[in-house]
Amino acid sequence: MKVSVLAFDLSDNATGRADLLARLLAPRYEVEVVGPQFGPELWRPVQGGAVAHRAVRAGWSPGGAARLSALLGLVDGDVILASKPRPTSYGLGLLARARRRRPLVLDIDDWELGFFYRSGAWGRVGRALNLADPNGLTWTWLMERLVPRAEALTVASRFLQARFGGVLLPHVRDTDAWDPARYDAGLARAELGVGSQKVVMFLGTPRGHKGVDDLVEAVGRLQPGVVAALVGADPASPAVRRWMALPHVRVVPEIPFGDVPRYLAAADVVAVPQRATSDTLGQVPAKIFDAMAMARPIVSTAVSMIPEILDGCGRVVAPGDVGALAAAIREVLDDPSEAAALGAAARRRCAERYSFATARAVLFPVIERLTSRISVP
């Protein structure tokens, strides 16, 4: 029995959720992540991983019909699982279902329209008129209207569940594989070149709604002896170049997903300073679960489900309050025993609620209900 997992752009960091779904399914099903690739290469963190990926190079030039035919040819699973309600994932899944008469599951881990709404009314008008972008505002709006057409629905946050329904399936991590005892903090710190300084780490793509500007400013207030390590940032980005010019910032470009625990071992605190915007209403950053699995103390902001997730095992401050963020980080850095207790509690919470085992207990029955209705030659 095969599951085709559809990602809307295999060169984008959204591939991370599709890859996670595939890894969750892999022990029981043949699984493959497929979809268009708009950038020059597969998203770097999943390169060389255990999951197979197949892509069709895509772009905005003519030839869309031929590419669509090639994409539909990739979707050969007995079950189709589309990651995100985007035209080039869920839209492709709807077409593939009509063509192959296979059941379709939709997984939603972000409020996709929220990414457009931050541009204001006139910005939304301009984006709505741009019909050439297959994942633009108008077509994404249409995909949201078609969410009920899926045979099953999983969602990653309570906001998304309230908006769309479905079964709650948060981001999770393999707590068996991510064992802090296996990683040498000294080696990771040497690679970062931080010496004896305290390390406040941010993981992932530092987009505006992630609050990295707030974090860089907060760590700047904690000098001397504290560095902000931004792991997964693009050094070519203007914002990242600006941060790199500051003496208290270290930048590590995108790394393979398998290297994340090694870098996390160097962190004294992991910061997840989400801002309160339309982008983040339904979003729970996967990096929280990275840090929890590795028993790192976390300082985050009160956005989406984060207060619930970190209740009793992390520090949460108001979004956008740089002073409160700096103070919370300082408190954790100044109390190593409390930091260790928070990290240990976070790992226990991850194992109990946000592990591969807990996610499979949700996802496997969803797939099994659908496969029980089909016969495979």
pLDDT number for residue 124: 55
Within a domain: residue 30? yes
The Cα–Cα gap between 37 and 199 comes to 35
Q: Are residues 97 and 210 in the same domain?
A: no
Give domain status of residue 376, yes or no. no
Picking from 272, 294, 262, the residue whose alpha carbon sits closest to that of residue 212 is 272
Residue 67 within a domain: yes
Report if residue 377 sits inside a domain.
no
- Residue 150 CB partners (closer than 8 Å, separation 6+): 82, 90, 93, 104, 105, 106
**pLDDT exceeds cutoff 80 at 16:** yes
Report pLDDT for 122.
44
Mean pLDDT computed over 331-353 = 98
What pLDDT sits at residue 127?
58
Least confident of 61-75, 201-215, 330-344: 61-75
Q: Are residues 308 and 249 in the same domain?
A: yes
Residues 192 and 307 in one domain: yes
Are residues 245 and 331 located together in one domain of the fold? Answer: yes
pLDDT at 119 over 70: no
Residue 106 falls inside a structural domain: yes
Per the structure, how many domains does the chain have?
Answer: 2
Mean predicted lDDT score pLDDT of the chain: 93
Q: Is residue 28 in some structural domain?
A: yes
Residue 77 falls inside a structural domain: yes
Residue 177 · residue 86 · CB < 8 Å: no
Q: What is the span of the domain harbouring residue 315?
A: 180-353
Residue 274 has pLDDT above 50, yes or no: yes
Residue 60 has pLDDT above 60, yes or no: no
Mean pLDDT for 349-354 is: 98
Same domain, 47 and 122: yes
Q: Tell me the mean pLDDT in the region 319-330.
A: 98
Is the pLDDT confidence value at 91 over 60?
yes
* Domain-located, residue 199: yes
Same domain for 143 and 257, yes or no, is no
177-227 pLDDT per residue, tens: 999 999 999 999 998 999 999 999 999 999 889 999 999 999 999 999 999
How crowded is the C-beta side of 151, counted as CA atoms within 13 Å?
Answer: 19
* 346 and 361 co-located in one domain: no
Which one has a higher pLDDT value, 65 or 58?
A: 58
Reduced to 3 states, what is the DSSP secondary structure of residue 85?
Answer: coil
pLDDT band at 340 (very low <50, low <70, confident <90, very high): very high
Q: Are residues 152 and 189 in the same domain?
A: no
Interatomic CA distance for residues 236 and 184, integer angstroms: 30
In this predicted structure, the answer to whether residue 138 has a pLDDT above a threshold of 50 is yes
Share above pLDDT 70 across residues of the chain, in percent, rounded to a whole number: 93
Say whether both 149 and 190 belong to one domain. no
d(CA 371, CA 151) in angstroms, rounded, equals 11
**CA gap 190, 340 in Å, rounded:** 21
312 pLDDT above the threshold of 80: yes
Contact status, residue 58 vs residue 88, Cβ threshold 8 Å: yes
Residues 163, 209: one domain?
no
pLDDT at 62: 43
* Domain CATH code at residue 261: 3.40.50.2000
Residue 131 has pLDDT above 70, yes or no: no
Quick one: 238 and 127 in the same domain?
no
37 and 131 share a domain?
Answer: yes
